[in-house]
Amino acid sequence: MTFEALGLNTSILKALTDAGYTAPTPVQQQAVPAAIAGKDLLVSSQTGSGKTAAFMLPSLHRLASIEPAAAGKTPNQEMQAARARGERPRFKAAQPKMLVLTPTRELALQVTTNTDKYSVNLRRIKAVSILGGMPYPKQMQLLAKNPEILVATPGRLIDHMESGKIDFSQLEILVLDEADRMLDMGFIDDIEKIVAATPEGRQTMLFSATLDGVVGNMARRITKDPQIIQIMSAANKHENITQRVHFVDDLSHKNRLLDHLLRDETMAQAVVFTATKRDADTIADRLNIAGFSAAALHGDMHQGARNRTLDSLRRGQVKVLVATDVAARGIDVPTITHVFNYDLPKFPEDYVHRIGRTGRAGRNGLAISLVNHAEGMHVKRIERFTKQMIPVNVIEGFEPKKTSFPPRSSRPGGWKPGDNRGGNKPGQRSFSKPGGAPRRDGVTGSNEGYKGPGFKANNPYNSDRPRRSYGDR
């Protein structure tokens, strides 16, 4: 199928050709014609599937068909006209036609960048990002231009709505991108408030890794007779990403193995995921000392520093990005060849998002989890979630002293018959947690096996996952 067959206007088609897109991805093939026809959409597809274009191309097509006269004056022009009439200019709220809500700043910036690419020949249509961490005066300047498209994280958007800077009465299209993540991050009340401020007659498109549970309930509440699109593409299943588990005995073993794997000649750029912000900094420092060009990325960094780090990654100056989950969401750098789970993620969904940082834009990728023996159960949960077995790999010279635990069967997340489901077998090592938090700075310690709170436990003080009251404002 071609983009022409989807019914997009010629300005958009030209931009797609210039961007090097030759054919629509499966989610685009299904979503674009339905969205051009004005249907509400519920789409289950993940990052990497081409979902941004799936909602943005038909939206641009629709927005481009609105007559310029109907678009009205910008708040800046209104104020100038008032001054010319000798009146005191009153601030007029921005009236966007389209709103895209995203869980993180990085994803919002990514969506805006892609939108700029797709709308390059549609001079009248502008997209701006409204994000937590960005200075208010800068955002006021952006809003004063009355952009057609706002791409925003929920917290900061609510601030502007409540102070009367944005008026959604003219909104035509609402997109919730990675809706499951927004709910995970505690944005449900903000989303409900934003949706309630938009016209009933709007078109709504919701994208989410899953359409089950809470997300499904919300999706059905805010859409009308939606078309449901479920994409199980290779990118969704990450078939282009080779996954591996390497068992390690302790932190020293883990650090040596990481250094060795990072020196692999097939490694162009890597993302190393850690559980905490502090570890991201510590490991980035250690890798720099070891001669890698590494940088940390986490939620404690100012937005400017985060953007600079991502730019350096895109330009290839940073070879190894050491990141926490939230900060790394939405990173779309096709030259990332490797993803390392230095720490396993707390939630299996995060594993899927993490490994999706590699194998982008049709390339292959390698995702390696460095797992201590006590974390075998966590691997099992991930395998159950992804319905894929992750093979265990051993590198000569880096063999773990212990054998892997738990015993593995050929079923994803499965167990060999006769394995221990309760208590240790005679002679088997106990995996009780030793005291104290482990050191992550490469110092060999006795804290092997324990890495802070368990897989399920969500320790907000360690995690980069924002708590409700710490929303992305």
Q: Which residues bind ligand AMP (CB under 6 A)?
A: 21, 24-25, 28, 47-53, 114, 332, 360-361
Shortest gap between Cβ of 47 and ligand AMP (angstroms)? 4
DSSP class of residue 2? Answer: -
Shortest gap between Cβ of 50 and ligand AMP (angstroms)? 3
Which of 413, 336, 396, 332 is closest to 367 using CA atoms? 336
Shortest gap between Cβ of 32 and ligand AMP (angstroms)? 10
Distances (CA, A) of 265 to 251, 269, 425: 24, 11, 42
Shortest gap between Cβ of 51 and ligand AMP (angstroms)? 4
Looking at the Cβ atoms of 22 and 410, the one nearer to ligand AMP is 22
What is the spatial distance between Cα 142 and Cα 94, in angstroms, rounded to a whole number?
A: 9
Looking at the Cβ atoms of 51 and 286, the one nearer to ligand AMP is 51
What is the spatial distance between Cα 321 and Cα 42, in angstroms, rounded to a whole number?
A: 33
Here the tokens at position 289 are 């000392």
Which of 279, 260, 251, 96 is closest to 175 using CA atoms? 96
Shortest gap between Cβ of 105 and ligand AMP (angstroms)? 15
What is the spatial distance between Cα 32 and Cα 25, in angstroms, rounded to a whole number?
A: 10
Shortest gap between Cβ of 332 and ligand AMP (angstroms)? 5
Looking at the Cβ atoms of 11 and 444, the one nearer to ligand AMP is 11
Shortest gap between Cβ of 175 and ligand AMP (angstroms)? 12
Looking at the Cβ atoms of 178 and 464, the one nearer to ligand AMP is 178
Q: What share of the chain is helix, strand, coil (3-state, %, to 5)?
A: 40, 15, 50
Looking at the Cβ atoms of 289 and 361, the one nearer to ligand AMP is 361
Looking at the Cβ atoms of 102 and 276, the one nearer to ligand AMP is 102
Here the tokens at position 393 are 């790999």
Looking at the Cβ atoms of 336 and 371, the one nearer to ligand AMP is 336
- In the block, residue with structure tokens 């921005």: 94
- In the block, residue with structure tokens 């050709």: 17
DSSP class of residue 1? Answer: -
Q: SS3 of 155, please? A: helix
What is the spatial distance between Cα 257 and Cα 244, in angstroms, rounded to a whole number?
A: 13
CB neighbour list of residue 326: distance below 8 Å, 6 or more residues apart: 104, 185, 298, 299, 464, 465, 466
Shortest gap between Cβ of 222 and ligand AMP (angstroms)? 22
Looking at the Cβ atoms of 50 and 132, the one nearer to ligand AMP is 50
Here the tokens at position 221 are 């509440």
CB neighbour list of residue 11: distance below 8 Å, 6 or more residues apart: 64, 121, 122
